[in-house]
Amino acid sequence: MMPDTSAVLLRIQALTEQLHHLNYEYYQRDTSEVSDQEFDQLLTELQQLEAAHPDLALANSPTRRVGGTITKQFPTAEHRYPMLSLGNTYSEDDLREFDERVQKGLEGAPYAYVCELKIDGVAMSLRYEHGQLTQGVTRGDGTRGDVVTANVRTIKTLPLALRPGQDRPEDFEVRGEVFLPLPVFEELNAEREQNGESLMANPRNAASGTLKLQNSVQVAARKLKFYAYSLLTPGRHFTSHSAALEALSRYGLPVSDTWRRASNIAEVLDFVHYWAQKRFDLPVATDGIVIKVDNLRQQDQLGYTAKSPRWAIAYKYPAEAARTRLNEVLYNVGRTGAVTPVALLTPVPLAGTVVKRATLHNANQIEALDLRLGDLVFVEKGGEIIPKITGVDLTARPAGAVPIQYPTACPACGTALVRPEGEAHFRCPNERGCPPQLKARLEHYVSRKALNIDGLGAETVGRFFELSMVKTPADIYDLPARRPELVTLERLGEKSIDNLISGIEASKQVPFPRVLFGMGIRYIGETVAQKLAAHYRSIDALMAASAEEMAAVPEVGGVIAVAAAHWFQQPENRQLIERLRQAGVQLEVTGEAPVPASDRLAGLTFVISGVFEQHSRDELQQLIISNGGKITGSISKKLSYLVAGENMGPAKREKALGFKVPIISETDLMALLPALEEAAGFEIFPEETPPAPAPEAPSNRPGQQGSLF
């Protein structure tokens, strides 16, 4: 018998409330009233009820955290209170001067400060209405930012629903920092290194890149965190900043418990000194201390300059430097032949880790520093995680030290290096025969974002390469037939071979854009591969295109197009493609219907602006181009149409009106195109492709993590 709906609703409400409470206990207080298994049972029960009664599911249900939302483009929103920045200083004298200004501004009244750690992440503004998280907006230009709500919802330590509280404002904003914990950042970079992808310079970039990912399932996998540092309401709800911080904690928001009240500047400096070294023990990147006048009325009294408050200042710790010896310089040859010098140093402790290597970027830098082997060099670790050499201690230069000679030939294959004009790197042009290039290309081909071949990781494919069993990606598909040879290899059991073979077989289903990315053509990253695949739909059409034609595809500039066209012209690359084709690898887009093509829009130019209901912006661009129209970025009097979606900036509208350019909607544009029936009964666009499946059975409750600080 069907349970009646109101009983189901009550149960859904009860489960939702209980799960929110358990999440609060777990993530904010490091305690747990139930076992992980019990928690999972409750969550599963809620998931099942919601699946059976989708109309009863609550908007902020704890089941709805792990994303699944694909945002083609982030809409923007205006901040209700502008997001200002802070004045910065590196000197303690400046802090004392700041204190004098505060004292003067407050005309002798007593005052106190709050000191907080300055977390190196991305500023975020969250809106809570009636206790529910309703919006997350990035700082943007301080006035408008990107709406990234679906992505911030994946941050597990962030409550979707707040705890009740008598003094909780009904509608308020929380400002804070979204960040990637250091261990997660390091893990991510290790994985990227394995995949031959470029490393992320620091956790801040990684956090900001993560927030801009379009698929929130990927965002969820990145394990971002959040710390709140201010609460904003239309009126004055609290008397002091410290009271607001305490309230935020009570409502269930994560507030770092490192903040302290300081009754005078001497106590502020104590706090600064205390964290100078201690901060390296924290699993989060910090770059300084933020000092704020505690009393909110006094904050108002002190006011603002054009950019920042007069009641707060950021003290930044100087970049940590150490002196050590440069013993050797290695030259790494990457997938595209770029040669990168790496300094090998006598290990030295620096900013919480022991540094053994530093990047030297390129030949220019070696020259500019006039480096010699045996020099004592200064190494710095600023916001960047990879240390760099910033100078030489000339007073300690050993007699007769010889300048470092940048190699003129590839350290791996001996081919003369070249330096294309305008480029900082020397390159080994021996694309076909240089072993580290070949090996890195294989590693790239099997990497997670390319063919992602199960049972064939970077290490195994590298081993096959060393054994001369595999030289190009096409050779991988011959492996299943070479089982007798494989079984003779050490550390490769029958089970691993089975795994490898089924992984290779499965990789034949990997969609064309990822295969194209896997080919490792210079400049063709994931996004460009997707654009090219969507536009040309098959490798044959792509190979037939000229550089000029490719350059016209949105987001594919001239440099990329020339490199791609050149690559496709090389006989060995054509041969590679033929062999991949014979192996059964996907070399065309399947499943989706082609976009109708006509010359209806020939001679017309369009600007597309805003967010659209039925199509993504890319789809509209593609429609226009495949029907003979052109896309441009700026509004001029020659423009034929401005296609306007939601959230289009008022400036664009005004400009178009000024030039008398017709402003049309998405529907108007569709009316200019051949009718659906003319497109041979195809749907113009298939339903939105489903997001990538969530990583297998993600545990709803990762291992208990201690509080960060």
3-state secondary structure of 577: helix
Distance separating alpha carbons of residues 469 and 570, to the nearest angstrom: 23
16 torsion bin: left (phi>0), alpha (psi -120 to 50), beta (else): alpha
Residue with smaller CB distance to ligand IVH, 229 or 426: 229
293 binds ligand IVH, rule: CB under 6 A:
no
Distance separating alpha carbons of residues 686 and 619, to the nearest angstrom: 11
Return the residue of 22, 188, 290, 313 that touches ligand IVH, per CB under 6 A.
290
Return the residue of 123, 358, 542, 642 that touches ligand IVH, per CB under 6 A.
123
Distance separating alpha carbons of residues 411 and 628, to the nearest angstrom: 50
Site string for ligand IVH, 311-350 (x = CB under 6 A): -x-x------------------------------------
The annotated binding site is made up of 36-40, 85-86, 116, 139, 177, 292, 316, 410, 413, 428, 434
The residue number with the shortest CB distance to ligand IVH is 123
Contact 645, 616 (CB under 8 A): no
Residue indicated by tokens 């099942």: 48
The torsion of the CA quartet 21, 26, 30, 32, rounded to 10 degrees, works out to 80
232 binds ligand IVH, rule: CB under 6 A:
no
Return the residue of 283, 309, 374, 391 that touches ligand IVH, per CB under 6 A.
309
Return the residue of 12, 43, 119, 360 that touches ligand IVH, per CB under 6 A.
119
3-state secondary structure of 604: coil
Least separation in angstroms between CB 182 and ligand IVH: 16
Least separation in angstroms between CB 285 and ligand IVH: 10
Residue indicated by tokens 């990583």: 695
| Alpha helices (H) in 59-178, listed in sequence order | 92-105, 149-152
Contact 634, 607 (CB under 8 A): yes
116 binds ligand IVH, rule: CB under 6 A:
yes
Q: What is the DSSP letter of 479?
A: G
Q: Which of 440, 457, 592, 438 is nearest to 511 (CA)?
A: 592
Least separation in angstroms between CB 98 and ligand IVH: 14
Please give the C-alpha separations between residue 427 and each of 42, 418, 519, in angstroms, as whole numbers. Answer: 57, 5, 19
Residue with smaller CB distance to ligand IVH, 94 or 454: 94
The annotated binding site for NAD(+) is made up of 36-40, 85-86, 116, 139, 177, 292, 316
251 binds ligand IVH, rule: CB under 6 A:
no
118 binds ligand IVH, rule: CB under 6 A:
yes
Residue with smaller CB distance to ligand IVH, 177 or 431: 177
Site residues (CB under 6 A) for ligand IVH, limited to 642-701: none
- Span near ligand IVH by CB under 6 A; candidates 111-119, 378-386, 398-406, 610-618: 111-119
Least separation in angstroms between CB 189 and ligand IVH: 22
Contact 479, 499 (CB under 8 A): no
Residue with smaller CB distance to ligand IVH, 221 or 231: 231
Q: Work out whether strand 641-644 and strand 663-664 pair parallel, antiparallel, or are unpaired.
A: parallel
- Span near ligand IVH by CB under 6 A; candidates 45-53, 81-89, 202-210, 399-407: 81-89
Residue with smaller CB distance to ligand IVH, 16 or 230: 230
Residues 6+ apart with CB under 8 A from 300: none
Residue with smaller CB distance to ligand IVH, 84 or 552: 84
Site residues (CB under 6 A) for ligand IVH, limited to 82-101: 84-86
Distance separating alpha carbons of residues 513 and 329, to the nearest angstrom: 38
The annotated binding site for Zn(2+) is made up of 410, 413, 428, 434
Rg (CA), the chain: 29
Q: How many residues bind ligand IVH (CB under 6 A)?
A: 14
Question: Among 118, 156, 381, 531, which one carries the catalytic annotation?
Answer: 118
- Span near ligand IVH by CB under 6 A; candidates 112-120, 459-467, 561-569, 599-607: 112-120
Which H helix or E strand runs over 286?
strand 286-293
Residue with smaller CB distance to ligand IVH, 221 or 312: 312
229 binds ligand IVH, rule: CB under 6 A:
yes
- Span near ligand IVH by CB under 6 A; candidates 114-122, 499-507, 569-577, 664-672: 114-122
Tell me, letter by letter, the H, E, C secondary structure of 96-118: HHHHHHHHHHCCCCCCCEEEEEE
3-state secondary structure of 694: coil
Neighbours of 457 (CB within 10 A): 18
DSSP 5-41: HHHHHHHHHHHHHHHHHHHHHHHHH---SS-HHHHHH
Residues 6+ apart with CB under 8 A from 72: 214, 616, 617, 618
Planar angle of CA 419, 565, 518, nearest 5 degrees: 85
Residue with smaller CB distance to ligand IVH, 42 or 231: 231
- Span near ligand IVH by CB under 6 A; candidates 78-86, 400-408, 478-486, 528-536: 78-86
Angle between helices 203-211 and 182-194 (to 10 degrees): 80
Least separation in angstroms between CB 73 and ligand IVH: 24
476 binds ligand IVH, rule: CB under 6 A:
no
Residue with smaller CB distance to ligand IVH, 291 or 453: 291
- Span near ligand IVH by CB under 6 A; candidates 307-315, 445-453, 679-687, 701-709: 307-315
DSSP 327-391: EEEEEEE-TTSEEEEEEEEEEEEETTEEEEEEE--SHHHHHHHT-BTT-EEEEEESS-SS-EEEE
Q: Which of 534, 537, 532, 526 is nearest to 547 (CA)?
A: 532
Cα dihedral sign, 178-182-187-190: positive
Site string for ligand IVH, 145-184 (x = CB under 6 A): --------------------------------x-------
Contact 436, 345 (CB under 8 A): no
C-alpha count within 13 angstroms, C-beta hemisphere, residue 477: 18
- Span near ligand IVH by CB under 6 A; candidates 116-124, 152-160, 328-336, 575-583: 116-124
Residue with smaller CB distance to ligand IVH, 85 or 263: 85
The torsion of the CA quartet 474, 480, 483, 485, rounded to 10 degrees, works out to 0
Which H helix or E strand runs over 657?
helix 650-658
Residue with smaller CB distance to ligand IVH, 119 or 608: 119
Active site annotation includes 637: no
Catalytic residues: 118
Q: Point out which residues bind ligand IVH (CB under 6 A).
A: 84-86, 116, 118-119, 123, 177, 229-230, 290, 309, 312, 314
